[in-house]
Structure 1
Amino acid sequence: MTGHRVSILALDGVLSFELGMPLTVLQSLGDLYSVSVVTPTEAGVTTDNGLRLSSAGSLTELATADTVIVPAYAFERGIPEDVAETLRTCHERSTRVVSLCVGAFALAQSGLLAGRRATTHWSRTERLAREHPDITVDRDVLYVDEGTVLTSAGTSAGIDLCLHLVCKDFGAATANQAARNAVAAPHRDGGQAQFIEQHLPTAAGTSLADTRTWALKHLADPLLLRDLAAHAHLSPRTFIRRFITETGLPPMKWLQLARIDHAKQLLERSDATIDTIARLSGLGTAANFRTHFTQHCGLPPSAYRGMYTRGSDRPTVPKQPTSHGR
């Protein structure tokens, strides 16, 4: 099995860190993805730190890709017309085209973002909007998914977008596995603000990480804001302020997304009923679960489960009582 074919287009001045993101995330999943790096010419390109990247493939290789990813590069130089034409051709044949950080400028120059929502690094959003007024530039998100065209904000948001791609292709459980493989936090929802004063801490015992870990173990419980604040030994007002600073989300919004994510994994990997999944994920009644899940995912739980049915390898979830270990 060749897997989902991904071509990473390394343009001149490509940022080594951003080039490594999709390689690290996608290749960690074995044969689910077939990943290659392409440069515009046989001469290769020079990375941002002066390393010479030899060509591992030509532009013609993009024609056979299922997904093309354009990492950040020296966007001030623009891109050659043959590169722009190749990206347009890929888009016309319904290839998924993705940019990381200022890679959005390559998609913009190729015309792929015209009439669409898009984002880029927060320090370059004004320039993108000024140079391409036909793009609706969203300055306050981690990434934007427009179907076959996706764009991310800067640096770590590129990891979130890569994990989002995995989630779309193979489900939330596989995306979380990719996050663990890359020693990254589980992927964040694209609607989060991209400017966060502190990076999300992942180590137990630091800041509010212990409280988030505790909440994830008690999703089935009717957790309230006061419960989370009490666990952190903070007043609700202080807790909210610190939580938003660390994660970019209000606590109860974060909790809702965590419950949806848990429900996705149960739908993908178990034969549990909708009522059971609603209870185990803390989303209330089956009707309430269906409403929230459909609003967030764009399709009902039954349709989502149908996308990721794996047949006999799905374990049965035991009917266990709701935990109240607060």
Structure 2
Amino acid sequence: MTRIAIVGAGPAGLSLAYFLKGSRKVEATVYESMPEPGLKPCAWGLITGIENIIPIPNETIISEIRGFRIYLDNKLVFDIRTDNKLGYIIDKPLFLKRLSQEVNVEFNSKVVKKDDKYYINDKSLDHDKVIFATGHYSVSKSMSIPAIQYITDYEIDKEVVEFYFYSGFLGYAWVFPDREGSKIGIGGYAEVPELKERLKQILKGRIRTFHGARVTDYGVIEDRLDGNYTGEALGTVYAITGEGIRPSIISSKILADSILNRKDFKKEFKKSKLYWSLNWHAKIIKMTKENDPGTARLSKALLNNDPQLILKFAIGEFNRVDLIKIFGRSLI
């Protein structure tokens, strides 16, 4: 039996252990340096469909999203309401806590490397394989951007999320429903003081909490496709939207299947729709920074198209024809 140590009890690490559990071939243990999971701040959005590969307990669902509003320079551009469930706002700490109860996890267990050997709280780590699901903490700062968020008591429609784009700014702000009030945040290519200044325009309600974190925007980190990384540590975050929970879980499903079926992870991952769509998001960000610093072309492309098409692009369910429709033939 192969003994696997998974470092990090976030969505990627815990889901990897979940997908591996029950196998006679593998024994997986998750090691987390913090006393509990889910401490990294984020908006807790999760696109529908992920429940087909991992359970989303009802008690972890804050609300079901059925609509979205998009603003450009604080002017409403789209106000879409559907009868279909587009996704969820989940209680991420509770979701991860429930997931951790399904697998082997050791909290307050810090893994470090010394002289090509791994140690847990200064004791030798006796495993056959170590997989890192350590998120942006193990990614170069040049591969990530800052994001900040306020938790306020401002009440928003629980079935609607709001996105705010700004001319000359590569990034966006958001207002997502919370159990009581809203999460109001922003992320992008700017320093934190500028992000705070921009967010003042939409900040509403009494502030309960302020926090921030960096978000990977690089795309897939090719030299980490060796089966020793998963989730955000591998670069599985959609660069334009910042969505990371769902793609991290999907990356762990591909890695788990590769381990259990003794297949080459790099080959399997590169064949996936996830790899292709993540890298297109990153490529468009890179092209925008180089050729469209004012974001005029990007804003026009995203806001002058069918919102359903833009939704497909945002969640990574697009194809080459969709890219041509949105960005034109010159892009590809």
TM over 0.5: no
Question: Larger Rg: 1 or 2?
Answer: 1
Task: Identify, as 1 or 2, the structure richer in strand.
Answer: 2
Q: TM-score, normalised by structure 2?
A: 0.31
Q: TM-score, normalised by structure 1?
A: 0.32
Task: Identify, as 1 or 2, the structure richer in helix.
Answer: 1
